[in-house]
Structure 1
């Protein structure tokens, strides 16, 4: 192949992402071994409509569960659902033999909530977003 052209894609497609992920996963698998990658979710559903209104979305790979997204609708906050979601994710991770759970949150979001769940900060990115900070937290088993 001749030198590749760099093209900016403001709205890349799923196929574009796959074209990047496939060789990366192949390299990682060949270098370190299979990651065991899988996605999972614990969904909050409206009992009347069945509509998903929030929940936890994560990815497990290389012995850790990454919580990518967690949201409880504003009207349901303070009811314990967030703690239940984290608890279910931890139970899943433990039963799957994973080493722990990690996630990130902004300074204006839920750092204190995660620390109450036993997570500890292992890094931060000051100024992301400007005027705040992004925190990376983990809970090892």
Structure 2
């Protein structure tokens, strides 16, 4: 750290999309420089959408691939269609694509009121539980080697 740096910096709660991109790009540049050779397979997005025959969206899964791992960010199936294996099929679909792209690990998190048991049924292992949320809610961190 440079102690001679005397610039006055300001922390602002106001931000633009461009400023957010500068921060994210800066982190990505640092990560790529620091994690060689893992940047050979760096990042990608894998999304699958569940639709009715008339194109109404009733579910989907949104994932980010990063350094040979896949992070499941969003998984949702409309309540009307739950319990019919659509969630499992969405997970299996992204896992297959991720594996084809060289991923070796999948991870995600979910809350106790959402679906930790569902992920366990899909072969995920709970590796951490974060407690301290109101009303006894817990956050589960899960992973699966693919």
Q: Which whole-Å CA distance do the structure 2 matches of 1:44 and 1:14 have between them?
A: 29
* Map 1:1-141 → 2, pairs under 5 A: 2-9=7-14, 12-33=15-36, 34=39, 36-48=42-54, 50-128=55-133, 130-141=135-146
TM-superposition CA deviations, 1:2-35 (whole Å, max 9, x none):
23210113xx432232021011111111111326
Q: How far apart are 1:129 and its partner, in Å?
A: 5.1
**Structure 1 gaps, min length 5:** none
TM-superposition CA deviations, 1:90-136 (whole Å, max 9, x none):
11121112111110000111000000011001112102355200000
- Count of aligned positions: 138
Mark the CA change 1:128 to 1:58 in structure 2 (over 3 Å): closer, same or farther.
farther
Q: Which whole-Å CA distance do the structure 2 matches of 1:129 and 1:91 have between them?
A: 37
Q: How does the TM-score come out when normalised to structure 1?
A: 0.90
Structure 2 residue matching 1:47: 3-state secondary structure = coil
Q: Which whole-Å CA distance do the structure 1 matches of 2:30 and 2:108 have between them?
A: 25
Q: How far apart are 1:53 and its partner, in Å?
A: 2.9
**Structure 2 gaps, min length 5:** none
Bigger Cα displacement from structure 2, 14-23 vs 78-87: 14-23
**Structure with bigger gyration radius:** 2
Structure 1 residue matching 2:113: 3-state secondary structure = coil
Q: How does the TM-score come out when normalised to structure 2?
A: 0.87
Bigger Cα displacement from structure 2, 90-99 vs 63-72: 90-99
Q: Which whole-Å CA distance do the structure 1 matches of 2:9 and 2:88 have between them?
A: 47
TM-superposition CA deviations, 1:24-50 (whole Å, max 9, x none):
1111111113261111201012321x2
Structure 1 residue matching 2:136: 3-state secondary structure = coil
